[in-house]
Amino acid sequence: MAATATAAALRCCFPGSSGVGSGFVKPTSSRRGWCAAAVAAPSREAEPVSSLGHRTRVDFPILHQEFDGTKLVYFDNGATSQKPYSVMRTLDEYYRSYNSNVHRGIHALSAKATHAYEDARRKVANFVNAADSREIVFTRNATEAINLVAYSWGLSNVKEGDEIVLTVAEHHSAIVPWQFVSQKTGATLKYVGLTKENVPDIEQLKGLLSNKTKIVVVHHVANVLGSMLPIEEIVTWSNRVGAKVLVDACQSVPHMPVDVQKLGADFLVASSHKMCGPTGVGILHGKFEILSSMEPFLGGGEMIADVFQDRSTYAEPPSRFEAGTPAIGEAIGLGAAIDYLSCIGMEQIHEYEKELGTYLYESLLSVPNVQIYGPAPSQTVHRAPLCSFNVENVHPTDIAEILDLQHGVAIRSGHHCAQILHRTLGITASARASLHFYNTKDEVDTFIDALKATIDFLTTRY
């Protein structure tokens, strides 16, 4: 990996704002955070990618909190990411200045809100390189996006005797909707197991595909194992048997460049709150010809073309799948998050997080009696910047609780909405540390020291 990157690739700007600081700053303030300062000094020398975490932290107010004099170390980014000032300002501006419903009014506020809402859709489309912004459907979250596909496409296309292929490493949100489809249609769920390296067995997946396969539902990056699936290959194999592919990209879109046209999947879902955007809005990308063939998921205002007493006709996608008043402010806030990520550069984020994730993995190996799940990072194996682990004879929930109470370190414990995977691994729970680009190696060191102290505390106490 290159030690430096061009300054232009690392500069970030906030359209419509003047900068940020250590506290909330009015738009007229001259105080600036790293991103705004970078724009103001375009001639400065390029900075190493390895400093990305330190330079972006100023943009995230929550990261500067202290608990009982201990600085917060936030390592639960796999559950949700933190939000930069620019996203908060965008939400504030919407509700202060042009709060109105979209696609309905002819007045100025509605026109401005509609433009901003649809501009956010265009930003999402560009971010994932969709062929057309009409292929982007806003939902409440990624879970609803998968349910939309399951109910609208699945119940119309999956029949008794058909097969749905998943892996044991899927999030519950990618499993339960297809269990509903299976129960309602009589289709069979087929699960891909793990290799001895504890990653989904791609050869087994390939072998499960047949003319009975209707859809393959897979993650891009596993939220527990940190492993990455070869989506392009899976799509090629699936297309040969006429099967559709749905990709859960919640753990990849926030961390690396994702090109939906290159991947070739029929459906892809992601979630705003994991990519520095607000909660309450998710993303469904679907090929337009497939979306156009699908029945609506929900009925109501905006998704119709015409309504008669006994029937209705439906709008074209994406409106067909966005019944009622959408999460307008949240979608606009997602657009601001995409502006922020794009200004940094997803390739820069990806390179930094590969380095940081490897550092986390190797540092965890220094902890006595630790078991890390998923593949070891290498030149040929990409691992996401997260580690799920257990320590012998210590419950992961105890670890997470003491890390929080005594050291100000926030991680997750439990099954991470992946009970099937945990049962496959022969465990009921694990601890998970998950990073983002605003985390640093210094924080990893703090986490490891705190983890060792926590283990000592728990093992000597009990």
| CA 286/CA 368 separation, integer angstroms | 46
Tokens of 220: 């891009």
Indicate the SS3 state at residue 308.
Answer: coil
Name the active-site residue from 276, 343, 387, 417.
417
Give whole-number Cα distances, 25 to 19, 60, 61, 284, in Å. 8, 13, 11, 34
| CA 221/CA 255 separation, integer angstroms | 10
Contact 146, 177 (CB under 8 A): yes
| CA 281/CA 279 separation, integer angstroms | 6
| Cα torsion 253, 257, 260, 266: sign | negative
Q: Where do the DSSP E strands lie in 179-260?
A: 188-192, 213-219, 244-248
CB atoms within 10 A of CB 290: 16
| CA 113/CA 109 separation, integer angstroms | 6
Strands 244-248 and 267-271: parallel
Number of residues that make up the chain: 462
- Judged on CB neighbours under 10 Å (0-12, 13-18, 19+), 75 is buried
Residue 417 falls in the annotated catalytic set? yes
Helix (H) or strand (E) holding 127: helix 108-127
Residue recorded with tokens 């006994």: 310
| Cα torsion 97, 101, 103, 104: sign | negative
Q: Which residues pair with 219 in a beta bridge?
A: 248
Active site residues: 417
